[in-house]
Chains A and B, each alone.
Chain A
């Protein structure tokens, strides 16, 4: 279900840009989506195709790049990828998630 909301947000953002830049059409949309977001690329593409039907975005392809989880220790600066609560280097609990939360439109390929 959340793929539909995301597809609507992507379409709204792109339609606005298309109007501003007067692109003839949008060929491809490249996204970066973090592992924590649990987005299924096939469902997102299906939703995007549905919400863009009969709009200037009809026919645009979605390409999703998955971004894996990654953490950084706020105390010693160590970075790591496997899901552990404590810093593997100093044992601190002060962990920040530096990748895996992405929900970004990276680029678009357009016809001018």
Chain B
């Protein structure tokens, strides 16, 4: 005999259990966790390298990539504690993998844990890793039309970072369309303009992080 069972549960319920456990552990230790999401080559690792130089903050990174240790090596030479997670074809990180990776990091002595997600504007946005917020990264050469083409990422991120701004004079990048589209998807998210090569614009980003760290530490008490 057939019957209908009402479930009303998230498709991601299993993943969300791990995410909730990470969130609760980080709440207790007052550790801010940021999930960095953007395309391959948009400048996510450069963003982290430059953040280390400009901010003076103590952070660790979980690096998600399909293959290689190259990003982890770039951060390792700067003295940043880093764990490389290779997904071997998987297009995003999941919370159970992140929880495992966290075990090897000195979490109690950090201001921030960054997760540099696999380069992709779609799947990484779907999976909750237990982070405090997602940061959407778009590089100027990718084009101003991307927010509306990948609306979930840009709607669900707390901040939007446009990188490689030094290239803007050479690109047909429609800044008005870009800012209008981001605003239409996510009216309250700040949009910051960054140049990872020179550090231009990083003051706004590091101030934003420092404010969030303060809030997080205050909540932990």
User: Residues on A close to B: CB < 8 A?
Assistant: 1-2, 5-6, 9-10, 12-13, 16-17, 21, 27, 31, 36-38, 83-86, 93-95, 97, 101, 103-112
Contact = CB atoms under 8 A, between A and B. Distances in A.
Interface stretch (B27-35, B159-167, B180-188): B180-188
B152 A38 contact: yes
A109 B183 contact: no
Contacts of B127: 5
Contacts of A110: 2-5
Given A2-B123, A5-B91, A13 B11 contact: yes
Given A1-B91, A9-B12, A38-B151, A106 B7 contact: yes
Given A1-B91, A5-B127, A108-B4, 12 more contacts: A1-B123, A5-B91, A6-B126, A31-B11, A84-B184, A93-B188, A95-B187, A103-B10, A103-B11, A104-B8, A105-B9, A109-B5
B110 interface: no
B152 A5 contact: no
A108 to B, nearest CB: 5
B2 A36 contact: no
Secondary structure at chain B's binding surface: helix, strand, loop or mixed? mixed
Pick the most buried of B11, B120, B152, B183: most chain A CB atoms within 10 A of its CB: B11
A84 B155 CA distance: 13
Interface residues of B, number: 31
B40 to A, nearest CB: 13
B6 A106 contact: yes
Given A10-B11, A103-B10, A109 B2 contact: yes
A9 B15 contact: yes
A9 B14 CA distance: 8
A109 B3 contact: yes
Nearest to B148: A83
Contacts of A86: 187
Given A9-B15, A105-B9, A94 B2 contact: no
Interface in B155-195: 155-156, 183-184, 187-188
A104 B165 CA distance: 39
B4 A105 contact: no
